[in-house]
Amino acid sequence: MLFQPAKTPTELKIKHLNKAQDERRHALLEATQGKAAIKQLKKRMAKKAKKVLKDSSKSKHKDQQVFVLDFDGDIKASGVKHLREEISSIISSANKGDEVVIRLESPGGMVHGYGLAAAQLVRLKDAGLTLTVCVDKVAASGGYMMACVADNIIAAPFAVVGSIGVVSQLPNFHKWLKKHDVDYEMFTAGDYKRTVTMFGENDDEDRAKYQSEIEQTHQLFKHFVTTYRPQLNLDKVATGEHWYGEDALKLKLVDTLQTSDSYILSRMASNQVYALYSQKKPTLAEKLGLTQAAEATLQMATDKLPDLLAQIESKRLDKLLK
C-alpha cells in the first residue's frame, strides 16, 4: 500500500456487500423453497432495480456509494496503520457526497495514538464525504474522541459511550528500593524534563506539575469534542463518566439508537455498499502453509516432550538399578 514501509506491506480487500447479500439470499431460498422461489425473487429484484435506477436519475445524489470500514482499537490505537491506508484509498476514488461508515469498537488508550486516529477521520470530512460512526459495544475515551468527528453517531441500546476524561497511573518503587539499599539516580536538563517517576522519590511539586499536564490534556480533549459536537453540555458529559446507549442519546452523545447491521442493511436498500479490509500481506512461507506446518510440528513436539522426558528418566533409572 501507499504509505506502509516496505518491511510491512499490506494488501486491500474489497467486498461488495449487496452482491454477498444476494448470494446468501439465493442460497437460503433454494434450500428452503426451491428454484421456483429464486425465479420469482429475480423478477422482483429486476423490477426494483429499474425503479431504483429511475429514482436515482432524478435524485441529486446520483450513484451514491457507501464504504464500510472497521476499527477495533487497542490501548495504542495500533489499528490506525490500516485505517489510514483504507481512508487514503477511499478519498482517492470516492465522490463528494458518498458515505463512509466506521464500525468502531474501542475503550480508549494513549492520547497521541487516538489523536492520530481521529485526525484520519477528519480527512474524510475534509474530502467532502459523509461520515457515520456505528458503535455496537463501546466507544469510550479515545474511542469517543474518534466517534465525535462523525456527522452521525449510531449506538446500540447498551453500547458504552463517553468517558470524556484523562487518566494516568503508575507504581512507585522508591520505598522498596530504599529498603533493599538500592540507589536510583536520574539526570535531566530542563526543570520539567521529568516530573513523577516510578523509581525516584516524588514530591508535591512533581505531582502538581504532572496533574497540571493531565488537566491540560483534558482541556484539549474537551475542545476537540465541542468542535465537532457543539450541542453537548460539557459540564454534564466531560466528567470522565460513561453512559449506555439510551442515556447517551438523551445527553446528545449519540444521534440514533440502532445496531450497525440494521443501519448498513438500510443503506443497501438504495445504495451500493462496499466493505474495505486491509491486512498484512502474507509472506511466501505463509502462502505455502509452511508457517502453519511449522507451528503444528512445534506444538506436537511440545505436547510429546513430557512423555519423552519421562521415558528418558525411566531408562536412566533402570541402568542405575542394574
Q: Would you call 156 exposed, middle or buried from its count of C-beta atoms within 10 A (0-12, 13-18, 19+)?
A: buried
Residue 54, CA distances (Å) to 19, 58, 270 in order: 20, 7, 12
User: In whole angstroms, what is the distance from residue 38 CA to residue 27 CA?
Assistant: 9
For β-strands 138-140 and 152-155, DSSP reports them as unpaired
- Picking from 271, 263, 276, the residue whose alpha carbon sits closest to that of residue 156 is 263
DSSP state of 64: -
Catalytic residues: 141, 193
Residue with cell 536520574: 186
Q: List b or e across 120-155, with b for residues whose CB sees 16 or more CB atoms inside 10 angstroms.
A: bbbbbeebebbbbbbbbebbbbbbbbbbbbbeebbb
- Picking from 213, 236, 269, 206, the residue whose alpha carbon sits closest to that of residue 56 is 269
For β-strands 130-135 and 138-140, DSSP reports them as unpaired
User: In whole angstroms, what is the distance from residue 19 CA to residue 26 CA?
Assistant: 11
Residue with cell 426451491: 34
Cell of 132: 457515520
Long-range contacts of 20-23 (CB under 8 A, 24+ apart): 21/265, 21/268
DSSP state of 95: P
| E strand map for 234-291 | 242-244, 256-257, 272-280
